[in-house]
Amino acid sequence: MPEGPEIRCAADNLEAAIKGKPLTDVWFAFPQLKTYQSQLIGQHVTHVETRGKALLTHFSNDLTLYSHNQLYGVWRVVDTGEEPQTTRVLRVKLQTADKTILLYSASDIEMLRPEQLTTHPFLQRVGPDVLDPNLTPEVVKERLLSPRFRNRQFAGLLLDQAFLAGLGNYLRVEILWQVGLTGNHKAKDLNAAQLDALAHALLEIPRFSYATRGQVDENKHHGALVSL
């Protein structure tokens, strides 16, 4: 499953394709979304937000399309009029004069009004996003030491989106290797230096992954190449 950096890169690609451009055609596969098609014609995408592995596509009329790709969903950007040859099932089409974005195969798709953004089950449950520039190591350290998380082994905790959103297997391995810890460790057992190093790594490594978009420095060992 794609992790936070890959989801953010996908969001960047969608924004680059259609952000700020009037929508000329909108299509949804699911019947409960059909009523929104006409409401979105002539509107535009203001920005695409990530909440861990979920995307929030915000429109100029204050509606927000929530989508979670899970294991099988995929977004594609095409020139308007192009029909990709694929066996995937189309779920969403947002078309502008020159570019169209298409969501295939995903099943977790909803349209939300502003007040629903704070009550949606997934958005309520998910923790701070590791790529949120406002999230600091100090806040991460507080979460590590909170009663809810301090007794959890890192093998499970670092995959729990309620702790921090956007982490997955490869980031978990890279982070633990970087700070010299294992999946069996718990926050309550770490000393101050270890806690500080972990809090920084939990943000720095996902942000480095996003910034380099998968490029690897061949002169630096990467712990993600090593299994837990």
pLDDT at 220: 46
Instruction: Please check the confidence at residue 202 and state whether its pLDDT lies above 80.
Output: yes
- CA–CA dist 31, 141 (Å, integer): 44
Instruction: Please check the confidence at residue 105 and state whether its pLDDT lies above 80.
Output: yes
Q: How far is CA 137 from CA 147, 159, 182, in A?
A: 18, 18, 20
Instruction: Please check the confidence at residue 95 and state whether its pLDDT lies above 90.
Output: yes
- CA–CA dist 173, 159 (Å, integer): 11
Domain boundary among 77, 93, 125: 125
Task: Say which CATH number the domain at 185 has.
Answer: 1.10.8.50
Domain boundary among 105, 125, 145: 125
Q: What is the 3-state secondary structure (H, E, C) of 162-209?
A: CCCECCCHHHHHHHHHHHCCCCCCEHHHCCHHHHHHHHHHHHHHHHHH
- CA–CA dist 171, 19 (Å, integer): 29
Counting the structural domains of the chain, the total is: 2
Please state, rounded to an integer, the average pLDDT across all residues of the chain: 91
Asked if 23 and 40 count as a contact pair (C-beta separation under 8 A), the reply is yes
Q: How confident is the model at residue 1 (pLDDT cuts 50, 70, 90)?
A: low
Q: How confident is the model at residue 33 (pLDDT cuts 50, 70, 90)?
A: very high
Domain assignment of residue 166, given as a range: 137-225
φ, ψ of residue 125 to 5 degrees: the values are -80, -30
Instruction: Please check the confidence at residue 223 and state whether its pLDDT lies above 50.
Output: no
Residues 111 and 157 both lie in one domain: no
Asked if 66 and 44 count as a contact pair (C-beta separation under 8 A), the reply is no
Within a domain: residue 150?
yes
Helix (H) or strand (E) holding 112: strand 108-112
pLDDT at 43: 99
pLDDT at 216: 41
Within a domain: residue 132?
no
- CA–CA dist 15, 75 (Å, integer): 12
Instruction: Please check the confidence at residue 62 and state whether its pLDDT lies above 60.
Output: yes
Within a domain: residue 130?
no
Residues 71 and 181 both lie in one domain: no
Residues 90 and 198 both lie in one domain: no
Residues 103 and 193 both lie in one domain: no
**Mean pLDDT on 143-166:** 97
Q: How far is CA 127 from CA 52, 63, 116, 131, 197, in A?
A: 8, 23, 17, 12, 20
Within a domain: residue 8?
yes
**Mean pLDDT on 90-102:** 98
pLDDT at 217: 47
Residues 208 and 156 both lie in one domain: yes
Q: How confident is the model at residue 226 (pLDDT cuts 50, 70, 90)?
A: very low
**Mean pLDDT on 197-218:** 83
**Mean pLDDT on 181-208:** 97
Instruction: Please check the confidence at residue 46 and state whether its pLDDT lies above 90.
Output: yes
**Cα end-to-end distance, the chain, whole Å:** 17
Residues 96 and 32 both lie in one domain: yes
Asked if 206 and 166 count as a contact pair (C-beta separation under 8 A), the reply is yes
Task: Say which CATH number the domain at 20 has.
Answer: 3.20.190.10
Domain boundary among 98, 125, 152: 125
